[in-house]
Amino acid sequence: MGMTITQKILAGAANKEKMVPGELVDANIDVVMCHDVTTPSAVSMLLEKGIDRVFDAEKIVVTPDHFQPGKDVKSAELHKRLDKWAKRHKIKHYYKIGKAGVCHALLPEQGHIRPGQVIVGGDSHTCTYGAFAAFSTGIGSTDLAAAIATGKLWFKVPESIKLVLHGSLGPGVYSKDVILAVIARIGTDGALYKAMEFVGSALAEMSMEARMTMTNMAIEAGAKNGIIGFDETTEKYLDEHLTDGQDYTVYESDSDAEYVATEEFDCSKIEPIVAFPHLPSGGVPITECAGKEMDQAYIGSCTNGRIEDLRVAARILKGRKASVRTIIVPATPMIWKQAKDEGLFDAFYDADCVIAAPTCGACLGGFMGVLAEGEKCVSTTNRNFVGRMGHPKSEVYLASPATAAASAVEGKLTDPRKYL
């Protein structure tokens, strides 16, 4: 029996020729992602044990993002601790405030992600990097401490689910709609501790940004990782973003690899989707829910705060006014500048939107878009749990940037196809 791409990557990281699902593996880590929420506590754990070291100052990437710039004294203290630690250990890739961005957009953009790697981070959406044919997964602060100090972690090799995406996306339909449709079918535990391997003709039409949106939300189906094979689109992106000249290893699933399940989707039949509260699996076609009134629209996050997302939103908002409070958050400083240079900010400004610096703030109910009691928000983020973006009695509706922008214009859930 052959191996999946996930099995092959973990086998390579453990210097083994063969790896089977359920096997425990002690893997070498290629990249450790660190941000301002989980890293300070991981560092404190190490210091309590008398450990003040990093396994490799060039394989750790650090950026504050969840509460940057600091929103209060507590977040400022987190940034202070992160800053001191990064400087003490001479972390090469430390993106201080001013260059900091939403981690899962920043790392690929800055060339830290490549195929065949094992990547971990103290954030559940670290699975984003699987779009680059890498094994990438989120870990807690305790495992983060171990990874920082040793460069190794053990994993149970996950079983794999194959998700076959047929056809082409119709007008007004995006990868966010696809992943919401996938999660609506299999549920929030449908891929529990499994690898979600995306294949099929629909992927050929998706940019790397679009693919990252899908792998980003693999955790919302309970997956250990999401992963997409290497192709010309991957190679082109890497050619543009890798500047260090280092090579990478491409793994592919064997034709006789074993999958515990295969789910097939005709993407040409997928409509714009809105996931109703309070689970990402609550996806409903826009034709069945249009008209529900909103109080806020939010376009940003590690899921949909990239330049192509902002372009789609600007195309809809240009020449129109937002009817509800609308917040636009470019995911990195580079995306922020590109959006400004392309004139997207003019469209947002004229539409009466708020344009913020890169931050995760609103997504986790921290700042820059917190909801009051009873308020409803159509959001391009990845979670709509109870109280996720603010008051426990607020509601979050997950959607694509197009749906969020169209809904901002009309003040209610709106089919974006009428504006495209």
Same domain as 257, residue 382: no
**Continuous H helices in 187-231:** 208-216
Together in a domain, 347 and 235 = no
**pTM of the full structure:** 0.95
Q: What total of structural domains would you count in the chain?
A: 2
Asked if residues 292 and 411 have their Cβ atoms less than 8 Å apart, the reply is: no
pLDDT of residue 246: 76
The reply to whether 91 and 190 lie within a common domain is yes
pLDDT in tens, the chain (420 residues): 899 999 999 999 999 999 999 999 999 999 999 999 999 999 999 999 999 999 999 999 999 999 989 899 999 999 999 999 999 999 999 999 899 999 999 999 999 999 999 999 999 999 999 999 999 999 999 999 999 999 999 999 999 999 999 999 999 999 999 999 999 999 999 999 999 999 999 999 999 999 999 999 999 999 999 999 999 999 999 999 997 777 899 999 999 999 999 999 999 999 999 999 999 999 999 999 999 999 999 999 999 999 999 999 999 999 999 999 999 999 999 999 999 999 999 999 999 999 999 999 999 999 999 999 999 999 999 999 999 999 999 999 999 999 999 999 999 999 999 998
Neighbour-count burial of 204, counting CB atoms closer than 10 A to its CB (0-12 exposed, 13-18 middle, 19+ buried): exposed
The pLDDT tens digits for 236-247 are: 999 999 977 778
Cβ distance 406 to 282 under 8 Å?
no
pLDDT in the model for residue 244: 75
Alpha helices in 58-102 (DSSP H): 73-88
Which amino acid, residue 154?
W
CB-side neighbour CA atoms (13 Å) of 100? 23
Same domain, 208 and 152: yes
112: three-class secondary structure by DSSP = coil
Show which of 237, 265, 293 is a domain's final residue.
265
Quick one: 147 and 81 in the same domain? yes
Q: Are residues 357 and 255 in the same domain?
A: no
- Residues in contact with 399: Cβ distance below 8 Å, sequence separation at least 6, in sequence order: 176, 180, 272, 273, 274, 275, 378, 379, 380, 407, 413
Residue 149, φ and ψ in degrees, nearest 5 = -85, -35
Give Cα 144 distance to the centre of its chain: 18
Same-domain check for residues 220 and 319: no
Same domain, 229 and 290: no
- The CA distance from 261 to 295, in Å, is 40
Q: Which of 218, 237, 265 is the last residue of a domain?
A: 265
Residues 16/155, Cβ–Cβ less than 8 Å: no
CB 208 within 8 A of CB 237: yes
Pair (185, 308) in one structural domain = no
Domain assignment of residue 270, yes or no: no
Here the tokens at position 212 are: 């990252």
The residue to which tokens 């009695």 are assigned: 393
Q: Helices marked H in 89-199 — which ranges?
A: 103-109, 141-150, 175-186
In the chain, the amino acid numbered 290 is A
Dihedral sign for Cα 4, 10, 13, 17, please: negative
